[in-house]
Structure 1
Protein backbone atom coordinates (compact mmCIF):
# COMPACT_ATOMS: atom_id res chain seq x y z
CA UNK A 1 0.00 0.00 0.00
CA UNK A 2 2.76 2.38 0.98
CA UNK A 3 4.69 1.34 -2.08
CA UNK A 4 1.70 2.14 -4.30
CA UNK A 5 1.24 5.56 -2.76
CA UNK A 6 4.93 6.35 -3.27
CA UNK A 7 4.74 5.32 -6.93
CA UNK A 8 1.67 7.48 -7.54
CA UNK A 9 3.35 10.47 -5.90
CA UNK A 10 6.45 10.04 -8.05
CA UNK A 11 4.36 9.83 -11.23
CA UNK A 12 2.44 13.00 -10.30
CA UNK A 13 5.63 14.88 -9.54
CA UNK A 14 7.14 13.85 -12.87
CA UNK A 15 3.96 14.90 -14.73
CA UNK A 16 4.02 18.32 -13.08
CA UNK A 17 7.65 18.90 -14.06
CA UNK A 18 7.27 17.81 -17.72
CA UNK A 19 5.57 21.03 -19.04
CA UNK A 20 8.24 23.20 -17.44
CA UNK A 21 11.01 21.05 -18.87
CA UNK A 22 9.37 21.11 -22.29
CA UNK A 23 8.99 24.88 -22.26
CA UNK A 24 12.62 25.36 -21.29
CA UNK A 25 13.78 23.16 -24.14
CA UNK A 26 11.50 24.77 -26.75
CA UNK A 27 12.19 28.43 -25.76
CA UNK A 28 15.65 28.49 -24.19
CA UNK A 29 16.41 32.20 -24.96
CA UNK A 30 13.17 33.99 -24.25
CA UNK A 31 13.80 37.79 -24.11
CA UNK A 32 13.02 39.39 -20.72
CA UNK A 33 10.44 42.18 -20.51
CA UNK A 34 11.48 45.81 -21.10
CA UNK A 35 12.47 47.87 -18.12
CA UNK A 36 10.75 51.13 -17.29
CA UNK A 37 13.61 53.08 -18.89
CA UNK A 38 13.55 51.36 -22.32
CA UNK A 39 12.35 54.52 -24.13
CA UNK A 40 15.42 56.47 -23.02
CA UNK A 41 17.99 54.06 -24.45
CA UNK A 42 21.30 55.60 -25.47
CA UNK A 43 21.14 53.44 -28.62
CA UNK A 44 18.27 55.52 -30.06
CA UNK A 45 19.49 56.32 -33.63
CA UNK A 46 17.39 59.50 -34.07
CA UNK A 47 18.91 62.94 -33.51
CA UNK A 48 16.79 66.08 -33.83
CA UNK A 49 17.41 69.81 -33.85
CA UNK A 50 15.31 72.90 -34.44
CA UNK A 51 15.87 76.61 -34.18
CA UNK A 52 15.83 80.10 -35.64
CA UNK A 53 18.07 81.92 -38.13
CA UNK A 54 18.57 85.55 -39.06
CA UNK A 55 19.67 86.24 -42.65
CA UNK A 56 20.93 89.66 -43.70
CA UNK A 57 20.20 89.22 -47.39
CA UNK A 58 21.14 91.23 -50.49
CA UNK A 59 19.03 90.58 -53.59
CA UNK A 60 19.27 91.47 -57.28
CA UNK A 61 16.84 90.91 -60.17
CA UNK A 62 17.82 91.82 -63.73
CA UNK A 63 15.90 91.52 -67.00
CA UNK A 64 15.80 92.99 -70.49
CA UNK A 65 12.54 93.36 -72.40
CA UNK A 66 12.48 94.89 -75.84
CA UNK A 67 15.79 96.66 -75.33
CA UNK A 68 14.80 98.12 -71.95
CA UNK A 69 16.57 96.84 -68.84
CA UNK A 70 14.82 96.46 -65.51
CA UNK A 71 16.91 96.14 -62.35
CA UNK A 72 15.82 95.70 -58.75
CA UNK A 73 18.17 95.63 -55.75
CA UNK A 74 17.07 95.07 -52.16
CA UNK A 75 18.40 94.72 -48.63
CA UNK A 76 16.24 92.36 -46.58
CA UNK A 77 16.20 91.23 -42.95
CA UNK A 78 14.86 87.66 -42.94
CA UNK A 79 13.77 85.50 -39.98
CA UNK A 80 13.80 81.76 -40.63
CA UNK A 81 12.66 78.66 -38.75
CA UNK A 82 14.34 75.34 -39.45
CA UNK A 83 14.50 71.71 -38.30
CA UNK A 84 16.56 68.59 -39.01
CA UNK A 85 16.10 64.90 -38.10
CA UNK A 86 19.03 62.47 -38.53
CA UNK A 87 18.66 58.68 -38.49
CA UNK A 88 22.09 57.24 -37.69
CA UNK A 89 20.90 53.67 -38.34
CA UNK A 90 20.14 54.36 -42.02
CA UNK A 91 22.54 57.33 -42.48
CA UNK A 92 19.63 59.47 -43.73
CA UNK A 93 18.20 62.84 -42.72
CA UNK A 94 15.26 65.12 -43.39
CA UNK A 95 15.46 68.88 -42.99
CA UNK A 96 13.26 71.84 -43.74
CA UNK A 97 13.20 75.62 -43.49
CA UNK A 98 10.88 78.56 -44.02
CA UNK A 99 11.69 82.25 -43.90
CA UNK A 100 10.14 85.66 -44.50
CA UNK A 101 11.59 89.17 -44.68
CA UNK A 102 10.44 91.33 -41.78
CA UNK A 103 11.90 94.48 -43.35
CA UNK A 104 13.04 95.28 -46.90
CA UNK A 105 14.36 98.39 -48.64
CA UNK A 106 15.78 98.84 -52.11
CA UNK A 107 15.83 100.59 -55.47
CA UNK A 108 14.09 99.86 -58.78
CA UNK A 109 15.41 101.37 -61.99
CA UNK A 110 15.40 101.08 -65.78
CA UNK A 111 17.89 102.32 -68.35
CA UNK A 112 15.41 105.02 -69.36
CA UNK A 113 14.71 106.49 -65.94
CA UNK A 114 16.08 107.35 -62.52
CA UNK A 115 16.14 104.85 -59.61
CA UNK A 116 12.94 104.65 -57.56
CA UNK A 117 13.41 103.71 -53.87
CA UNK A 118 10.94 101.37 -52.19
CA UNK A 119 10.27 99.98 -48.73
CA UNK A 120 8.38 96.83 -47.77
CA UNK A 121 8.01 93.98 -50.24
CA UNK A 122 7.55 90.23 -50.19
CA UNK A 123 10.63 88.03 -49.78
CA UNK A 124 9.89 84.51 -48.56
CA UNK A 125 10.67 80.85 -49.07
CA UNK A 126 9.91 77.35 -47.81
CA UNK A 127 11.40 73.98 -48.67
CA UNK A 128 12.56 70.56 -47.53
CA UNK A 129 15.42 68.17 -48.37
CA UNK A 130 15.99 64.43 -47.98
CA UNK A 131 19.63 63.38 -47.61
CA UNK A 132 21.79 60.24 -47.47
CA UNK A 133 25.29 60.38 -45.93
CA UNK A 134 26.87 56.91 -46.24
CA UNK A 135 30.50 58.05 -46.31
CA UNK A 136 32.66 58.99 -43.36
CA UNK A 137 32.99 58.13 -39.68
CA UNK A 138 31.86 59.42 -36.27
CA UNK A 139 33.38 62.88 -36.83
CA UNK A 140 32.88 63.39 -40.58
CA UNK A 141 29.91 62.62 -42.85
CA UNK A 142 29.55 63.09 -46.62
CA UNK A 143 26.56 62.45 -48.83
CA UNK A 144 23.91 63.73 -51.22
CA UNK A 145 20.52 65.43 -50.97
CA UNK A 146 17.42 66.02 -53.08
CA UNK A 147 14.79 68.61 -52.30
CA UNK A 148 12.17 71.17 -53.31
CA UNK A 149 11.97 74.89 -52.57
CA UNK A 150 9.38 77.60 -53.17
CA UNK A 151 10.51 81.23 -53.38
CA UNK A 152 8.49 84.43 -53.38
CA UNK A 153 10.77 87.15 -54.81
CA UNK A 154 8.80 90.39 -54.92
CA UNK A 155 10.77 93.01 -53.02
CA UNK A 156 8.92 95.98 -54.56
CA UNK A 157 5.37 94.66 -53.94
CA UNK A 158 2.86 95.47 -51.22
CA UNK A 159 3.95 93.13 -48.40
CA UNK A 160 0.38 92.79 -47.03
CA UNK A 161 -1.18 91.64 -50.33
CA UNK A 162 0.40 88.15 -50.33
CA UNK A 163 -2.53 86.46 -52.11
CA UNK A 164 -2.19 88.66 -55.20
CA UNK A 165 -0.48 86.99 -58.17
CA UNK A 166 1.65 90.09 -58.76
CA UNK A 167 5.34 89.50 -58.18
CA UNK A 168 7.61 86.54 -58.89
CA UNK A 169 6.95 82.96 -57.71
CA UNK A 170 9.50 80.16 -58.23
CA UNK A 171 9.29 76.38 -57.74
CA UNK A 172 12.74 74.70 -57.73
CA UNK A 173 14.24 71.19 -57.72
CA UNK A 174 17.50 70.84 -55.73
CA UNK A 175 20.21 68.16 -56.17
CA UNK A 176 23.28 68.56 -54.03
CA UNK A 177 26.21 67.38 -51.94
CA UNK A 178 26.34 67.84 -48.16
CA UNK A 179 29.11 67.44 -45.59
CA UNK A 180 29.40 67.75 -41.80
CA UNK A 181 32.56 67.66 -39.68
CA UNK A 182 33.02 67.79 -35.90
CA UNK A 183 36.23 69.74 -35.30
CA UNK A 184 36.15 68.88 -31.57
CA UNK A 185 33.56 68.76 -28.80
CA UNK A 186 33.01 72.51 -29.04
CA UNK A 187 33.01 73.27 -32.79
CA UNK A 188 31.65 71.81 -36.02
CA UNK A 189 31.31 72.88 -39.64
CA UNK A 190 28.41 72.16 -41.99
CA UNK A 191 28.35 72.82 -45.74
CA UNK A 192 26.22 72.06 -48.79
CA UNK A 193 26.30 72.86 -52.49
CA UNK A 194 23.24 72.18 -54.67
CA UNK A 195 22.51 72.40 -58.37
CA UNK A 196 19.08 73.63 -59.45
CA UNK A 197 18.63 71.80 -62.77
CA UNK A 198 15.06 72.98 -63.20
CA UNK A 199 12.91 75.75 -61.76
CA UNK A 200 9.68 77.28 -62.99
CA UNK A 201 9.10 80.97 -62.42
CA UNK A 202 5.99 83.02 -63.08
CA UNK A 203 4.61 86.38 -62.05
CA UNK A 204 3.29 89.75 -63.12
CA UNK A 205 3.66 93.43 -62.47
CA UNK A 206 0.91 95.56 -61.00
CA UNK A 207 -1.58 97.27 -63.31
CA UNK A 208 -0.31 100.63 -64.54
CA UNK A 209 -2.79 103.31 -65.66
CA UNK A 210 -1.76 105.20 -68.78
CA UNK A 211 -3.02 107.78 -71.22
CA UNK A 212 -5.18 106.47 -74.06
CA UNK A 213 -2.83 104.79 -76.54
CA UNK A 214 -3.53 102.87 -79.74
CA UNK A 215 -2.00 99.33 -79.61
CA UNK A 216 -2.69 96.85 -82.44
CA UNK A 217 -5.52 99.11 -83.62
CA UNK A 218 -7.16 99.18 -80.19
CA UNK A 219 -7.28 102.16 -77.81
CA UNK A 220 -6.00 101.04 -74.38
CA UNK A 221 -5.58 102.82 -71.03
CA UNK A 222 -4.06 100.21 -68.64
CA UNK A 223 -1.18 97.76 -68.94
CA UNK A 224 0.52 94.97 -67.03
CA UNK A 225 3.50 92.70 -67.78
CA UNK A 226 3.22 88.92 -67.26
CA UNK A 227 6.26 86.62 -67.30
CA UNK A 228 6.94 82.88 -67.08
CA UNK A 229 9.66 80.43 -67.99
CA UNK A 230 12.13 77.70 -67.02
CA UNK A 231 15.18 78.62 -64.96
CA UNK A 232 18.31 76.89 -63.67
CA UNK A 233 21.01 77.74 -61.19
CA UNK A 234 22.76 76.76 -57.96
CA UNK A 235 22.83 77.40 -54.23
CA UNK A 236 25.38 77.05 -51.46
CA UNK A 237 25.64 77.40 -47.70
CA UNK A 238 28.40 77.03 -45.09
CA UNK A 239 28.02 77.32 -41.30
CA UNK A 240 30.51 77.19 -38.42
CA UNK A 241 28.96 75.90 -35.20
CA UNK A 242 29.79 76.44 -31.53
CA UNK A 243 28.33 74.26 -28.72
CA UNK A 244 28.26 76.19 -25.42
CA UNK A 245 26.20 73.37 -23.85
CA UNK A 246 25.32 69.80 -24.80
CA UNK A 247 21.92 70.78 -26.25
CA UNK A 248 22.58 74.26 -27.62
CA UNK A 249 24.33 75.28 -30.85
CA UNK A 250 25.21 78.74 -32.16
CA UNK A 251 26.23 78.96 -35.82
CA UNK A 252 27.37 81.72 -38.17
CA UNK A 253 28.02 81.56 -41.90
CA UNK A 254 26.72 82.54 -45.31
CA UNK A 255 24.34 81.50 -48.07
CA UNK A 256 23.82 82.31 -51.76
CA UNK A 257 21.21 81.46 -54.43
CA UNK A 258 21.50 82.11 -58.18
CA UNK A 259 18.91 81.53 -60.92
CA UNK A 260 19.09 82.36 -64.60
CA UNK A 261 17.49 81.36 -67.87
CA UNK A 262 15.35 82.31 -70.88
CA UNK A 263 11.77 83.32 -70.17
CA UNK A 264 8.86 84.81 -72.04
CA UNK A 265 7.04 88.04 -71.36
CA UNK A 266 3.81 89.47 -72.65
CA UNK A 267 2.17 92.82 -72.24
CA UNK A 268 -1.49 92.87 -71.32
CA UNK A 269 -3.47 95.93 -72.48
CA UNK A 270 -7.03 96.80 -71.40
CA UNK A 271 -9.34 98.53 -73.87
CA UNK A 272 -10.39 102.02 -72.91
CA UNK A 273 -13.98 101.59 -74.15
CA UNK A 274 -14.52 98.10 -72.65
CA UNK A 275 -12.76 97.75 -69.26
CA UNK A 276 -13.07 93.92 -69.14
CA UNK A 277 -11.63 93.42 -72.63
CA UNK A 278 -7.88 93.23 -73.30
CA UNK A 279 -5.25 92.23 -75.86
CA UNK A 280 -1.77 90.67 -75.51
CA UNK A 281 1.58 91.54 -77.05
CA UNK A 282 4.15 88.71 -76.66
CA UNK A 283 7.86 89.48 -76.18
CA UNK A 284 11.03 87.62 -75.27
CA UNK A 285 12.43 88.26 -71.80
CA UNK A 286 16.19 88.30 -72.30
CA UNK A 287 18.93 88.09 -69.71
CA UNK A 288 16.77 87.35 -66.68
CA UNK A 289 18.72 86.58 -63.50
CA UNK A 290 18.05 86.40 -59.77
CA UNK A 291 20.75 86.53 -57.09
CA UNK A 292 20.34 86.47 -53.30
CA UNK A 293 23.22 86.20 -50.84
CA UNK A 294 24.22 87.28 -47.36
CA UNK A 295 25.32 86.44 -43.81
CA UNK A 296 23.54 83.97 -41.51
CA UNK A 297 23.31 83.63 -37.73
CA UNK A 298 21.62 80.63 -36.08
CA UNK A 299 20.45 79.52 -32.63
CA UNK A 300 19.51 75.84 -32.45
CA UNK A 301 18.42 73.35 -29.79
CA UNK A 302 19.46 69.69 -30.07
CA UNK A 303 17.37 66.78 -28.73
Structure 2
Protein backbone atom coordinates (compact mmCIF):
# COMPACT_ATOMS: atom_id res chain seq x y z
CA UNK A 1 0.00 0.00 0.00
CA UNK A 2 2.94 2.37 0.59
CA UNK A 3 4.41 2.05 -2.93
CA UNK A 4 1.50 3.72 -4.72
CA UNK A 5 1.45 6.43 -2.10
CA UNK A 6 5.18 7.09 -2.63
CA UNK A 7 4.60 7.38 -6.38
CA UNK A 8 1.81 9.90 -5.93
CA UNK A 9 3.96 12.03 -3.62
CA UNK A 10 6.87 11.99 -6.10
CA UNK A 11 4.64 12.99 -9.00
CA UNK A 12 3.19 15.90 -7.03
CA UNK A 13 6.68 17.10 -6.13
CA UNK A 14 7.73 16.96 -9.79
CA UNK A 15 4.73 19.04 -10.88
CA UNK A 16 5.49 21.65 -8.25
CA UNK A 17 9.08 21.92 -9.43
CA UNK A 18 8.23 22.09 -13.18
CA UNK A 19 8.11 25.92 -13.42
CA UNK A 20 11.52 26.23 -11.84
CA UNK A 21 13.00 23.57 -14.10
CA UNK A 22 11.54 25.31 -17.18
CA UNK A 23 13.09 28.60 -16.13
CA UNK A 24 16.46 26.93 -15.67
CA UNK A 25 16.13 25.32 -19.11
CA UNK A 26 15.45 28.71 -20.72
CA UNK A 27 18.62 30.04 -19.19
CA UNK A 28 20.67 27.07 -20.30
CA UNK A 29 19.15 26.74 -23.81
CA UNK A 30 18.11 30.10 -25.39
CA UNK A 31 15.49 30.15 -28.16
CA UNK A 32 16.77 28.47 -31.27
CA UNK A 33 15.96 29.61 -34.84
CA UNK A 34 12.58 28.16 -35.86
CA UNK A 35 12.40 25.60 -38.61
CA UNK A 36 12.11 26.71 -42.24
CA UNK A 37 8.53 27.17 -43.39
CA UNK A 38 7.01 24.76 -45.83
CA UNK A 39 8.21 25.38 -49.45
CA UNK A 40 10.88 27.82 -48.27
CA UNK A 41 12.76 27.37 -51.54
CA UNK A 42 9.89 29.06 -53.49
CA UNK A 43 10.93 32.64 -52.67
CA UNK A 44 9.12 35.48 -54.53
CA UNK A 45 10.78 36.77 -57.73
CA UNK A 46 12.43 40.17 -57.92
CA UNK A 47 9.76 42.49 -59.39
CA UNK A 48 12.39 44.61 -61.18
CA UNK A 49 13.62 43.86 -64.69
CA UNK A 50 16.43 45.83 -66.32
CA UNK A 51 17.33 46.48 -69.94
CA UNK A 52 20.26 48.44 -71.35
CA UNK A 53 21.88 48.65 -74.75
CA UNK A 54 22.76 50.54 -77.91
CA UNK A 55 20.78 51.67 -80.95
CA UNK A 56 21.66 52.87 -84.42
CA UNK A 57 19.24 55.30 -86.08
CA UNK A 58 19.55 56.18 -89.75
CA UNK A 59 17.55 59.42 -89.64
CA UNK A 60 16.36 61.68 -92.44
CA UNK A 61 15.77 65.24 -91.29
CA UNK A 62 13.98 68.28 -92.69
CA UNK A 63 13.91 71.92 -91.57
CA UNK A 64 11.51 74.25 -93.36
CA UNK A 65 10.75 77.96 -92.94
CA UNK A 66 9.49 81.01 -94.82
CA UNK A 67 10.93 84.44 -94.08
CA UNK A 68 9.71 87.55 -95.86
CA UNK A 69 8.16 85.50 -98.66
CA UNK A 70 11.36 83.52 -99.17
CA UNK A 71 11.66 79.80 -98.42
CA UNK A 72 14.58 78.07 -96.72
CA UNK A 73 14.75 74.27 -96.62
CA UNK A 74 17.40 71.98 -95.18
CA UNK A 75 17.60 68.22 -95.75
CA UNK A 76 20.04 65.97 -93.91
CA UNK A 77 21.01 62.33 -93.50
CA UNK A 78 22.26 61.57 -90.00
CA UNK A 79 23.87 58.43 -88.58
CA UNK A 80 22.99 58.45 -84.89
CA UNK A 81 24.34 56.23 -82.10
CA UNK A 82 22.11 56.00 -79.04
CA UNK A 83 22.48 54.53 -75.54
CA UNK A 84 19.31 53.53 -73.72
CA UNK A 85 17.98 51.86 -70.56
CA UNK A 86 14.66 50.66 -69.17
CA UNK A 87 13.61 49.54 -65.66
CA UNK A 88 10.29 47.68 -65.28
CA UNK A 89 8.59 47.22 -61.90
CA UNK A 90 6.10 44.32 -62.10
CA UNK A 91 4.66 45.10 -58.65
CA UNK A 92 3.33 48.50 -59.78
CA UNK A 93 3.04 47.94 -63.56
CA UNK A 94 5.31 50.93 -64.11
CA UNK A 95 8.62 51.59 -65.84
CA UNK A 96 11.29 54.23 -66.30
CA UNK A 97 13.25 54.54 -69.53
CA UNK A 98 15.76 56.95 -70.94
CA UNK A 99 17.95 57.49 -73.99
CA UNK A 100 20.65 59.78 -75.33
CA UNK A 101 21.89 59.93 -78.91
CA UNK A 102 24.32 61.88 -81.07
CA UNK A 103 25.00 61.91 -84.80
CA UNK A 104 28.47 60.65 -85.67
CA UNK A 105 28.12 61.59 -89.36
CA UNK A 106 25.88 64.10 -91.18
CA UNK A 107 25.52 65.27 -94.76
CA UNK A 108 22.80 67.11 -96.61
CA UNK A 109 21.68 70.07 -98.71
CA UNK A 110 20.39 73.55 -97.96
CA UNK A 111 17.98 74.96 -100.55
CA UNK A 112 16.87 78.59 -100.73
CA UNK A 113 14.13 80.28 -102.73
CA UNK A 114 16.72 80.89 -105.46
CA UNK A 115 16.73 77.15 -106.15
CA UNK A 116 20.50 76.68 -105.81
CA UNK A 117 21.31 73.94 -103.24
CA UNK A 118 24.32 74.17 -100.95
CA UNK A 119 25.82 70.84 -99.89
CA UNK A 120 27.21 70.46 -96.39
CA UNK A 121 28.77 67.87 -94.08
CA UNK A 122 29.19 67.91 -90.31
CA UNK A 123 26.89 69.70 -87.94
CA UNK A 124 25.13 68.69 -84.75
CA UNK A 125 22.10 66.45 -84.20
CA UNK A 126 21.53 65.00 -80.75
CA UNK A 127 19.00 64.40 -78.01
CA UNK A 128 18.51 63.14 -74.46
CA UNK A 129 15.39 62.41 -72.46
CA UNK A 130 13.47 60.17 -70.09
CA UNK A 131 9.91 58.83 -69.80
CA UNK A 132 7.88 57.40 -66.95
CA UNK A 133 5.27 54.84 -67.94
CA UNK A 134 2.34 53.09 -66.28
CA UNK A 135 0.78 50.03 -67.94
CA UNK A 136 -2.15 48.86 -65.76
CA UNK A 137 -4.07 47.28 -68.62
CA UNK A 138 -3.60 43.83 -70.14
CA UNK A 139 -2.19 40.58 -68.78
CA UNK A 140 1.11 38.75 -68.45
CA UNK A 141 1.51 38.65 -72.23
CA UNK A 142 0.25 42.09 -73.30
CA UNK A 143 0.64 45.33 -71.34
CA UNK A 144 -0.43 48.83 -72.37
CA UNK A 145 -0.90 52.19 -70.71
CA UNK A 146 0.47 55.73 -70.60
CA UNK A 147 3.79 57.58 -70.77
CA UNK A 148 4.92 61.07 -69.87
CA UNK A 149 8.36 62.55 -70.19
CA UNK A 150 10.80 65.25 -71.24
CA UNK A 151 13.19 65.43 -74.16
CA UNK A 152 15.97 67.82 -75.12
CA UNK A 153 16.81 68.11 -78.83
CA UNK A 154 19.79 69.69 -80.55
CA UNK A 155 18.94 70.30 -84.22
CA UNK A 156 21.72 71.94 -86.19
CA UNK A 157 22.71 69.61 -89.04
CA UNK A 158 24.08 72.48 -91.18
CA UNK A 159 25.91 74.24 -88.36
CA UNK A 160 29.20 74.10 -90.25
CA UNK A 161 27.93 76.53 -92.92
CA UNK A 162 28.11 79.56 -90.58
CA UNK A 163 26.27 81.94 -92.86
CA UNK A 164 23.35 84.29 -92.31
CA UNK A 165 20.84 81.52 -93.05
CA UNK A 166 22.43 78.90 -90.78
CA UNK A 167 21.18 78.79 -87.19
CA UNK A 168 24.14 77.95 -84.96
CA UNK A 169 22.37 75.33 -82.88
CA UNK A 170 18.61 75.05 -82.42
CA UNK A 171 17.87 73.89 -78.85
CA UNK A 172 14.43 72.42 -78.09
CA UNK A 173 12.89 71.50 -74.73
CA UNK A 174 9.84 69.26 -75.27
CA UNK A 175 7.10 67.68 -73.11
CA UNK A 176 5.77 64.24 -74.16
CA UNK A 177 2.36 62.69 -73.31
CA UNK A 178 1.20 59.48 -74.93
CA UNK A 179 0.31 55.79 -74.91
CA UNK A 180 2.54 52.72 -75.06
CA UNK A 181 2.26 48.95 -75.23
CA UNK A 182 4.38 45.82 -75.28
CA UNK A 183 3.43 42.25 -76.23
CA UNK A 184 5.52 39.16 -75.44
CA UNK A 185 4.49 36.93 -78.34
CA UNK A 186 6.45 33.94 -76.99
CA UNK A 187 9.90 33.24 -75.59
CA UNK A 188 11.46 34.33 -78.90
CA UNK A 189 9.63 37.50 -79.98
CA UNK A 190 8.16 40.73 -78.66
CA UNK A 191 6.74 43.89 -80.16
CA UNK A 192 6.52 47.32 -78.57
CA UNK A 193 5.01 50.57 -79.79
CA UNK A 194 4.40 54.09 -78.56
CA UNK A 195 2.86 57.26 -79.86
CA UNK A 196 3.11 60.54 -77.98
CA UNK A 197 1.85 64.06 -78.45
CA UNK A 198 4.16 67.00 -77.85
CA UNK A 199 1.74 69.60 -76.48
CA UNK A 200 4.50 72.16 -75.93
CA UNK A 201 8.12 72.59 -76.94
CA UNK A 202 10.25 75.72 -76.68
CA UNK A 203 12.84 76.21 -79.41
CA UNK A 204 15.61 78.79 -79.57
CA UNK A 205 18.77 79.33 -81.58
CA UNK A 206 20.91 81.98 -83.22
CA UNK A 207 23.43 82.49 -85.99
CA UNK A 208 27.01 83.38 -85.35
CA UNK A 209 27.77 87.10 -85.21
CA UNK A 210 28.42 88.39 -88.70
CA UNK A 211 30.90 91.32 -88.98
CA UNK A 212 30.24 93.99 -91.57
CA UNK A 213 31.50 97.38 -92.68
CA UNK A 214 30.17 100.36 -90.73
CA UNK A 215 26.76 101.45 -91.96
CA UNK A 216 24.10 103.79 -90.61
CA UNK A 217 20.76 102.18 -89.75
CA UNK A 218 17.98 104.18 -88.09
CA UNK A 219 20.50 106.89 -87.28
CA UNK A 220 22.90 104.43 -85.57
CA UNK A 221 26.22 103.22 -86.97
CA UNK A 222 26.31 99.40 -86.83
CA UNK A 223 29.12 97.01 -87.69
CA UNK A 224 27.91 93.45 -86.94
CA UNK A 225 24.66 91.51 -86.75
CA UNK A 226 23.03 88.14 -86.17
CA UNK A 227 19.67 86.37 -86.30
CA UNK A 228 17.90 84.81 -83.30
CA UNK A 229 14.99 82.39 -83.76
CA UNK A 230 12.43 81.34 -81.13
CA UNK A 231 9.29 79.27 -81.32
CA UNK A 232 6.48 77.70 -79.25
CA UNK A 233 6.10 74.37 -81.01
CA UNK A 234 3.86 71.33 -80.84
CA UNK A 235 3.78 68.00 -82.64
CA UNK A 236 4.03 64.24 -82.18
CA UNK A 237 6.47 61.32 -82.01
CA UNK A 238 6.07 57.61 -82.67
CA UNK A 239 8.06 54.38 -82.64
CA UNK A 240 7.47 50.68 -83.39
CA UNK A 241 10.05 47.96 -82.62
CA UNK A 242 10.01 44.18 -83.14
CA UNK A 243 12.31 42.15 -80.89
CA UNK A 244 14.02 38.76 -81.22
CA UNK A 245 15.46 36.93 -78.17
CA UNK A 246 18.19 34.46 -79.25
CA UNK A 247 18.95 33.90 -75.54
CA UNK A 248 17.17 34.73 -72.30
CA UNK A 249 19.35 37.79 -71.69
CA UNK A 250 19.95 39.12 -75.22
CA UNK A 251 17.53 40.97 -77.49
CA UNK A 252 17.80 42.35 -81.03
CA UNK A 253 15.13 44.81 -82.12
CA UNK A 254 14.36 46.46 -85.46
CA UNK A 255 11.82 49.12 -86.34
CA UNK A 256 11.14 52.74 -87.18
CA UNK A 257 10.81 56.12 -85.52
CA UNK A 258 9.43 59.51 -86.56
CA UNK A 259 8.82 62.95 -85.08
CA UNK A 260 7.41 66.27 -86.28
CA UNK A 261 7.32 69.71 -84.66
CA UNK A 262 5.73 72.90 -85.92
CA UNK A 263 4.21 76.07 -84.55
CA UNK A 264 4.40 79.87 -84.37
CA UNK A 265 7.98 81.11 -84.59
CA UNK A 266 9.79 84.38 -85.14
CA UNK A 267 13.18 85.70 -86.19
CA UNK A 268 14.88 88.71 -84.60
CA UNK A 269 17.53 90.58 -86.60
CA UNK A 270 20.04 92.27 -84.28
CA UNK A 271 22.54 94.95 -85.33
CA UNK A 272 25.15 96.10 -82.83
CA UNK A 273 26.08 99.74 -82.27
CA UNK A 274 29.64 100.27 -83.50
CA UNK A 275 30.35 102.81 -80.77
CA UNK A 276 28.64 100.90 -77.94
CA UNK A 277 29.08 97.13 -78.44
CA UNK A 278 26.56 96.19 -75.76
CA UNK A 279 23.71 98.10 -77.39
CA UNK A 280 21.89 97.23 -80.59
CA UNK A 281 18.86 97.87 -82.73
CA UNK A 282 16.63 95.07 -83.90
CA UNK A 283 13.59 94.11 -85.93
CA UNK A 284 11.26 91.13 -85.53
CA UNK A 285 9.84 89.03 -88.36
CA UNK A 286 7.43 86.10 -88.18
CA UNK A 287 8.59 82.77 -89.57
CA UNK A 288 5.85 81.11 -91.60
CA UNK A 289 5.61 77.38 -92.18
CA UNK A 290 8.34 76.56 -89.68
CA UNK A 291 8.67 72.79 -89.13
CA UNK A 292 11.16 70.15 -88.01
CA UNK A 293 10.79 66.55 -89.21
CA UNK A 294 12.98 63.53 -88.49
CA UNK A 295 12.28 59.88 -89.35
CA UNK A 296 14.10 56.66 -90.18
CA UNK A 297 14.93 53.05 -89.35
CA UNK A 298 16.30 51.87 -85.99
CA UNK A 299 18.36 48.80 -85.01
CA UNK A 300 18.95 47.84 -81.37
CA UNK A 301 20.95 45.37 -79.29
CA UNK A 302 19.92 45.06 -75.63
CA UNK A 303 20.90 43.07 -72.59
CA UNK A 304 18.13 41.90 -70.23
CA UNK A 305 18.71 41.03 -66.58
Quickly say closer, same or farther: Cα 1:198–1:225, change in 2 above 3 A.
same
Partners in 2 of 1:129 and 1:19 — Cα distance? Answer: 63
Measured against aligned partners, the alpha-carbon deviations of 1:173-208 in whole angstroms (never above 9, x if no partner) come to: 100110111222211111000000011111111222
Partners in 1 of 2:74 and 2:42 — Cα distance? Answer: 53
Is the contact made by 2:121 and 2:160 (CA closer than 8 Å) also made in structure 1? no
Quickly say closer, same or farther: Cα 1:34–1:203, change in 2 above 3 A.
farther
Q: CA deviation at 1:265?
A: 1.4
Q: Indicate the residue corresponding to 2:236 in structure 1.
A: 234
Which aligned runs of 4 or more in structure 1 are off by greater than 6 angstroms?
1-5
Q: CA deviation at 1:274?
A: 4.4
Residues matched between the structures, number: 287
1:253 matched to 2:255? The reply is yes
Quickly say closer, same or farther: Cα 1:19–1:72, change in 2 above 3 A.
farther
Q: Indicate the residue corresponding to 2:3 in structure 1.
A: none
Is the contact made by 2:54 and 2:84 (CA closer than 8 Å) also made in structure 1? yes
TM-score by length of 2: 0.85
Match 1:57 to one of 59, 70, 75: 59
Quickly say closer, same or farther: Cα 1:217–1:109, change in 2 above 3 A.
farther
Match 1:11 to one of 13, 16, 37: 16
Q: Indicate the residue corresponding to 1:121 in structure 2.
A: 123
Matches within 5 A, 1:149-164: 149-158=151-160
Q: Indicate the residue corresponding to 1:43 in structure 2.
A: 45
Measured against aligned partners, the alpha-carbon deviations of 1:84-126 in whole angstroms (never above 9, x if no partner) come to: 0111111101100000111111122321362222211111100
Q: Indicate the residue corresponding to 2:96 in structure 1.
A: 94
Quickly say closer, same or farther: Cα 1:289–1:185, change in 2 above 3 A.
same
Quickly say closer, same or farther: Cα 1:177–1:10, change in 2 above 3 A.
same
Match 1:168 to one of 167, 170, 178: 170
1:178 matched to 2:170? The reply is no
Q: Which moved more, 1:168-177 or 1:212-221?
A: 212-221
Q: Indicate the residue corresponding to 1:291 in structure 2.
A: 293
Partners in 2 of 1:225 and 1:234 — Cα distance? Answer: 27
Is the contact made by 2:184 and 2:191 (CA closer than 8 Å) also made in structure 1? yes
Question: Which stretches in structure 2 are left out of the alignment for 5+ residues?
Answer: 1-5, 26-32, 162-166
Partners in 1 of 2:133 and 2:247 — Cα distance? Answer: 27
Q: Which moved more, 1:257-266 or 1:212-221?
A: 212-221
Q: Indicate the residue corresponding to 1:28 in structure 2.
A: none
Quickly say closer, same or farther: Cα 1:242–1:59, change in 2 above 3 A.
same
Rg bigger for which structure?
A: 2
Partners in 2 of 1:127 and 1:227 — Cα distance? Answer: 23
Partners in 1 of 2:82 and 2:41 — Cα distance? Answer: 32
Match 2:141 to one of 116, 139, 142: 139
Q: CA deviation at 1:286?
A: 1.6
TM-score by length of 1: 0.86
